[in-house]
A = this chain, B = another copy of it.
Amino acid sequence: MAQYTPPLRDMQFVLHELLNVVDELKQLPAHADVDADTINAVLEEGGKFASQVIAPLNQIGDQEGCKLDKATHEVTTAKGFKEAYLQYVEGGWPALSCDPAFGGQGLPHVVNQCMYEMMNSANQAWTMYPGLSHGAYEALHAHGTDEQKKLYLPKLTSGQWTGTMCLTEPHCGTDLGLLRTKAEPQADGTYKITGNKIFISAGEHDMSENIVHLVLARLPDAPQGSKGISLFVVPKYNVTPEGKIGSRNGIYCGGLEHKMGIHGNATAQMVLDGAVGTLVGEPNKGLAAMFVMMNAARLGVGMQGLGLTEVAYQNAVAYAKDRIQMRSLSGVKAADKPADPIIVHPDVRKMLLTARAYAEGGRALSIWTTLLLDKELSSEDEDERKDAADLVALLTPIVKAFLTDNAWISTSHCMQVFGGHGYIAEWGMEQFVRDARINMIYEGTNTIQSLDLLGRKVLADNGAKLKKFGKIVRDFVEEEGTNEAMQEFVNPLAELGEKVTKLTTEIGMKAFQNPDEVGAAAVDYLRVCGHLVFGYFWARMAKIALAKVDGGDPFYKAKLHTARFYFAKLLPETATLIRTARAGAKPMMDVEESLF
């Protein structure tokens, strides 16, 4: 079975040495009293929960999956899942970054994000239950009526109830404008909702007393398409005005999907048969309200990718040090053994360091993005809120798509380190790969993320948001301009920055003539931007490591090596990506449909 050790040291490095989060948070009245000790203590406890409580359930969840009783429509989760959830609730973990007005602990998102990385390393399928709940909390917190907040937020905050997002229908996933679920207004102000939803993660289970579904549906007179969609809260059990559990509502699980991975999470087909719901936000503006949830969820999916990358790396390193096989090409290394440990082989190291560089780069990027989210939500300065919001908007599709694509690459590499043993369920490596695959699909496929980045976040404002990030990179490059030791890092970073600027302009010009040029370049473009962000953080991390490496702490030595590896072996992917992005739409769009 796979093992997991929370990477507390590296989290502390990013939080305190790279990003100085405590100083940053001091500027935000809501978090001004958060100190480093608090953060570290929370993460240490959180790490224990992840590694000791839910990590041991990961393989069980994969093997047992979830079971639906077709007669009662009730779903039983894998052995131990419910008990772990009760422990999670007792520990107060759901409340970590929730609003104190509803029982939350009010800690910054940045702490919660680290907690989620660890939980996803330990058990992604399990973590999706509280993860979805938190999304429902965010949407109701942002758009719910006072009555809805009063009824639902305390229970979601305590974790007594969980939540879901009910968007997808059999004929529509990406294109929610096509959705057909109907909401009929009732005399008492509620709505009766009827329709079929599919792919509802955590849609039904036995872990909480009630499940708060957030459901997209159409009002009778709604305009066609995406401008006619409204958001409703539809609890599994109706809730009395006093907040007590009432009668069973007409929303139930009609089936569970058999999936490639995340078997421990119930992916439910939900049938709404005149289910009673109340409107969240304004009529026909449900998509916008849902996007509050969706943006949080996208950062959350990035954490799933990061978590899997980290845990796959840890296990592959342990195996590579232990497994002996063949001799090093450059001479015997372990003369006392019949063969050398496979970590002596350059390609094994290349696979390991790829995962490591992607994990540590991803950690820096995602913690920074979440710190910006805390500023966007809590800063008292309007300009700072705007700047932070712009950067979060720009970075969110990168966190989602780049980190999950990297996780696919990394988990597959780490599995490869195990040779044939990687393909066998016993070791747990192939589960990481299967679990990692969904993260490239849900909450908007990675192609959709790339269109969001290039189309909406970059080209739509003529690159204004991108320039904000570009300035941060340029300032850093200039700052290090005379630092000889930093040239190996800042030179390729500066070069890539210039190439991104040129590439953006070029695609923008071509897109004027033919909008398909955006669709043709977007996926390559997102990965180029991902490397720009990673290049920036690896250069900054290298700077810190250079300053401290002589102190003898091997952590900084390792950091410096990984930075060098990143620039030598991973960032050069941009050479191809820029070429293929520039090759444009013609090679795809010239082909008549009938020729496929």
Tell me if B437 and A589 are in contact (CB < 8 A): no
- A407 and B347 CA atoms in complex are apart in Å by 21
Q: Mark A344-375, 1 if CB is under 8 A from B, else 0.
A: 11111110110010000000000000000000
Tell me if B423 and A596 are in contact (CB < 8 A): no
Residues of B contacting A8 in the complex (Cβ-Cβ under 8 angstroms): none
Residues of B contacting A591 in the complex (Cβ-Cβ under 8 angstroms): 349, 353, 558, 561, 565
Tell me if A343 and B596 are in contact (CB < 8 A): yes
Q: A321-B593, A565-B588, A595-B554 are in contact. Are A178 and B518 (CB under 8 A)?
A: no
Q: Which residue of B lies closest to A565 (CB)?
A: B587
CB distance from A3 to the nearest CB of B (A): 15
User: Quick check: is A148 within 8 A (CB to CB) of the other chain?
Assistant: no
Most buried by B among A426, A441, A594: A441
- A592 and B345 CA atoms in complex are apart in Å by 13
Most buried by B among A257, A346, A445, A557: A346
User: Quick check: is A438 within 8 A (CB to CB) of the other chain?
Assistant: yes
CB distance from A340 to the nearest CB of B (A): 10
Q: Which residue of B lies closest to A437 (CB)?
A: B423
- A255 and B466 CA atoms in complex are apart in Å by 57
Tell me if A441 and B412 are in contact (CB < 8 A): no
User: Quick check: is A338 within 8 A (CB to CB) of the other chain?
Assistant: yes
Q: Mark A564-589, 1 if CB is under 8 A from B, else 0.
A: 11001100111110011001011111
Pick out which of these stretches binds chain B: A23-31, A117-125, A167-175.
A167-175
Q: Mark A401-437, 1 if CB is under 8 A from B, else 0.
A: 0000000100010011001101111100010011001
CB distance from A260 to the nearest CB of B (A): 4
Interface bracket on A:
35 or more
Q: Which residue of B lies closest to A588 (CB)?
A: B349
Tell me if A447 and B583 are in contact (CB < 8 A): no
- A424 and B260 CA atoms in complex are apart in Å by 6
Pick out which of these stretches binds chain B: A80-88, A302-310, A323-331.
A323-331
- A353 and B418 CA atoms in complex are apart in Å by 32
Pick out which of these stretches binds chain B: A383-391, A500-508, A519-527.
A519-527
Tell me if B576 and A564 are in contact (CB < 8 A): no
Q: A346-B585, A595-B558 are in contact. Are A199 and B520 (CB under 8 A)?
A: no
Q: Which residue of B lies closest to A225 (CB)?
A: B338
Tell me if B583 and A569 are in contact (CB < 8 A): yes
Q: A349-B589, A583-B572 are in contact. Are A423 and B515 (CB under 8 A)?
A: no
Q: Which residue of B lies closest to A351 (CB)?
A: B447
Residues of B contacting A596 in the complex (Cβ-Cβ under 8 angstroms): 317, 320-321, 343, 349, 352, 356, 558
CB distance from A359 to the nearest CB of B (A): 13
A window 45-93: CB within 8 A of B: none
Residues of B contacting A595 in the complex (Cβ-Cβ under 8 angstroms): 554, 557-558, 561
User: Quick check: is A339 within 8 A (CB to CB) of the other chain?
Assistant: yes
CB distance from A298 to the nearest CB of B (A): 15
Contact among B172, B353, B419, B438 for A173, CB-based, below 8 A? B419
17 interchain pairs, CB-CB under 8 A: A175-B324, A178-B325, A257-B425, A260-B425, A346-B585, A347-B447, A347-B522, A350-B520, A352-B596, A408-B412, A419-B441, A423-B437, A557-B592, A568-B580, A569-B580, A572-B579, A572-B583
17 extra interchain contacts, Cβ-Cβ under 8 A, other than A329-B515, A346-B585, A347-B519? A173-B325, A173-B420, A175-B325, A177-B339, A178-B325, A198-B420, A320-B596, A346-B588, A347-B450, A416-B440, A420-B441, A558-B596, A564-B590, A565-B587, A568-B580, A568-B586, A569-B583
